[in-house]
Amino acid sequence: MKVAALIVAAGRGSRAGPGAPKQYRLVAGEPVLRRTLAAFAGHSAISTILTVIHPEDAAAYEAAAQGIAKLRPAVPGGQTRQASVMAGLDALSGADVPEIVLIHDGARPFVSHRLISDCISALASRDGALAALPLTDTIRRGTGGLAGETVPRDGLWRAQTPQAFRFRSILEAHRAAAGQDFTDDAAVAAMAGIDVALVTGDEDNFKITSAADIERAERMLMRGGETRTGMGYDVHRFGPGDHVWLCGVKVPHTAGLEGHSDADVGLHALTDAILGAIGAGDIGKHFPPSDPQWKGASSDRFLAHAARLARDAGAAVSNADVTLICEAPKISPHTEAMRARIADIIGVDVSRVSVKATTTEGLGFTGRREGIAAQAIATLRFGQT
């Protein structure tokens, strides 16, 4: 099932005060929009991500989105949020049309893995789903600056995003609503007679609107969650061949690496590091070399499996650090491609991935050019997905 995320980020955000639009403000060193995009890119059910941006923000968007997986080229938005969503839906209606679309505010960077999953799951019985929170505070109507009558709060909910829909249904609803002014996509859907299920939202999934919201976001990220670290190590000997696979990149060489799979020592070590951080054993437990189905297998499958297990355990990869140990081939020309490939596989920003290399000064089996070793450390943050 193809699931698209449509991220609406064309607003100016004037209430956040002077400076860049709020979606490009830095929060704990990263643009707000980058954190939003990474949240969806890291969810295994999301097939593609399309962002609607202001025409003047192309350079800011490219900088914020660099290295994020699953992105389609951004499209320019309209004068209103509704017009921007329509522009995004039109762009998605071309090639490779999704079955489901999740429409989300670019300035809600703390959307959780659980909430994305729940919105998708709700479409099993409805054509629409709305993340929302029930009102718990007493609601009063203000009159002339004075507290007026109490408004019954039974059945009242605070709408959030994502709002998920069967793609064809919401596309037709938006086309029918052209020229009208609705505050969100659930209202557009209701006008078209689409049943929209309520999905329990998340207090942390707030929309950054003001300067105070940016400060709140900073405090949340400083708060963090439990952090665990795992370590991995792998070795493969050289054999016949004209290339080696290292950290998901094909590197020309005068020899190959021997192994049951593609013998990618970098990805094997990192897979073990992530599995170790969540207490899930090692790579051999999940992909035993005695099983013929893994003969010659691409190691990105192993790493993607470990990353998926980590997300299911409520963890996000905070940092992945791989060191390749060999005399040859030369690694430095390929490190940026390796970083980008690892970031793509595990669904994180490339800034959270490090790949480097060293030698053993001619000592030991790597010094004798008999093989390559790799060690990796993965730091996982729990309670943040």
Which tens digit of pLDDT belongs to each residue from 290-309?
888 888 889 999 999 999 89
Look at residue 385 in the predicted model and tell me its pLDDT. 42
Assess whether pLDDT exceeds 70 at residue 384.
Answer: no
For domain 227-382, the question of CATH label 3.30.360.10 is answered with no
Name the pLDDT band for 143 (thresholds 50, 70, 90). confident
Q: What are the residues whose beta carbons fall under 8 Å from the beta carbon of 294, sequence distance 6 or more? A: 260, 261, 287, 288
Assess whether pLDDT exceeds 90 at residue 214.
Answer: no
Class of domain 3-223: alpha beta
Whether 263 and 283 have beta carbons less than 8 Å apart is answered as no
ω before 162 within 30° of 0 (cis)? yes
Helices 265-277 and 335-346: crossing angle in degrees, nearest 10, is 40
> How much of the chain is in helix, strand and coil states, percent to nearest 5?
35, 30, 35
Look at residue 294 in the predicted model and tell me its pLDDT. 83
Q: Which residues pair with 252 in a beta bridge?
A: 243
Q: What are the residues whose beta carbons fall under 8 Å from the beta carbon of 360, sequence distance 6 or more? A: 325, 327, 366, 367
State how far the Cα of 55 lies from the Cα of 33, in Å rounded to an integer: 16
Name the pLDDT band for 18 (thresholds 50, 70, 90). low
In the predicted model, what is the mean pLDDT of residues 121-141? 94
Domain boundaries, given as residue ranges, for the chain? 3-223, 227-382
How far is C-alpha 336 from the geometric centre of its chain's CA atoms? 20
Instruction: Give the pLDDT confidence of 152-172 residue by residue, as tens digits.
Output: 988 899 999 999 999 999 999
State how far the Cα of 32 lies from the Cα of 16, in Å rounded to an integer: 12
State how far the Cα of 99 lies from the Cα of 41, in Å rounded to an integer: 17
Instruction: Give the pLDDT confidence of 46-75 residue by residue, as tens digits.
Output: 999 999 999 999 999 999 999 898 999 999
Assess whether pLDDT exceeds 60 at residue 347.
Answer: yes
